[in-house]
Amino acid sequence: MTNPYTLILHDNEPGCSSPRSPSNARNIFKKDVQKAAPFSFRCATMRLKRADVLAIARQKTMISLLKRKILQRLLPRDFYFRKQGYCPCCQRPTDFISYDPWLRDNFLCVKCKSIPRNRALITVLEKHYPNWRCLDIHESSPSGGGASARFRSDCRGYVPTQFYPQHPAGKMINGYRNENLEAQTFDDESFDIVITQDVFEHIYDPESAFREIARTLRPGGAHVFGVPLVNKFMPSEVWAVRENDGSPRFLHEEEFHGNPVDSQGSPVTMHWGYDIVDYIKACTGHDSQIEYTDNLELGIRAEFIEVVVTRKPAV
Ligand SMILES: [Zn+2]
């Protein structure tokens, strides 16, 4: 029996400034820069002494550079989209700016550099668990900034972990506890909340990882996580499997994402769809809901920023 998922849509879009196409901005920029760069060595034909020519060249070059700098500020070369709002990560009025149409990785808060999925996750967490600052939270594989920085600064019970396969499990390394999400050393019912952000598309054995998270959650707690649900309504697909030596064997096109603790990057092992909620139900018996937030005031707009909330029933 399948568990019908819940897709909650929030669309609180206020008016927004119209995006300027990057190519148009680039053309305007080029034209103006060409006008602003008049210096050429033609002035050598004016029969000036070499020293005079060089002095003029320096002066003109400086003016040209100055004009170029002013123009760059007025017309940023790749400017694409800008919106004033309030950042849920750093909790300040701010500007959200993207120089790239792919907002998911580029629509930054200028103050804390958070990206839309960070802001979506903290907004959903705040909605379901407004007391999260007083709870015990395990975050696996946090990034340095964004929502993780907020958890680190505001939550006394925050335990960040990374996985260093060459080191003993459960030890502290570089400020992180060394934990394999698929086989954790935490006791049962250690946490109120488990957070993962863009982690589950890199797990070889998601069944074990979901079970371990369920085991370490207290009754009434939840796994709150972001994962790119790239397959949407299509079934989830295994993308890569682990070879005996630990390396990935891709079943489809090779795909890696950046990893802050591994310069090789992390192989993509799963392409998830909305049926992830059925998968979690089968592994843990727990119900999940998928929340999609679209709120420009909070700088939350991008593809694949759904947040999944899997609750462990209260006893
Ligand atoms: Zn911010």
Rounded to the nearest angstrom, the distance between the alpha carbon of 96 and the centre of ligand 1 is 8
Residues in the chain: 315
- The series of mean pLDDT values per 10 residues for the chain, 315 residues long, is 43 36 36 34 41 59 66 62 96 95 95 97 97 98 90 96 94 95 98 97 97 98 98 97 93 88 84 98 98 97 98 94
Please state the φ and ψ torsions of residue 136, each to the nearest 5 degrees.
-90, 120
CA 63, 66, 69: angle at the middle one, nearest 5? Answer: 150
Rounded to the nearest angstrom, the distance between the alpha carbon of 306 and the centre of ligand 1 is 19
Residues, Cβ < 5 Å to ion ligand 1:
87, 89-90, 109, 111-112, 114
Rounded to the nearest angstrom, the distance between the alpha carbon of 245 and the centre of ligand 1 is 41
* Tokens linked to 54: 């060089």
3-state secondary structure the chain: CCCCCCEEEEECCCCCCCCCCHHHHHHHHHHHHHHCCCCCHHHHHHCCCHHHHHHHHHHHHHHHHHHHHHHHHHCCCCCCEEEEEEECCCCEEEEEEECCCCHHHHCEECCCCCCHHHHHHHHHHHHHCCCHHHCEEEEECCCCCHHHHHHHHHCCEEEEEECCCCCCCCCEECCEEECECCECCCCCCCEEEEEEECCCCCCCCHHHHHHHHHHHEEEEEEEEEECCCCCECCCCEECEEECCCCCEEECCCCCEEEECCEEEEEECCEECECCHHHHHHHHHCCCEEEEEEEEHHHCECCCCCCEEEEECCCC
Rounded to the nearest angstrom, the distance between the alpha carbon of 147 and the centre of ligand 1 is 9
Domain positions in the chain are 7-15+116-311, 22-74
Q: Are 284 and 1 in contact (CB under 8 A)?
A: no
Tell me what pLDDT residue 147 has.
93
Tell me what pLDDT residue 315 has.
82
Tell me what pLDDT residue 231 has.
98
Please state the φ and ψ torsions of residue 81, each to the nearest 5 degrees.
-155, 140
- Close Cβ partners of 156 (under 8 Å, ≥ 6 residues apart): 133, 134
Q: Which CATH class is domain 7-15+116-311?
A: alpha beta
Rounded to the nearest angstrom, the distance between the alpha carbon of 83 and the centre of ligand 1 is 13
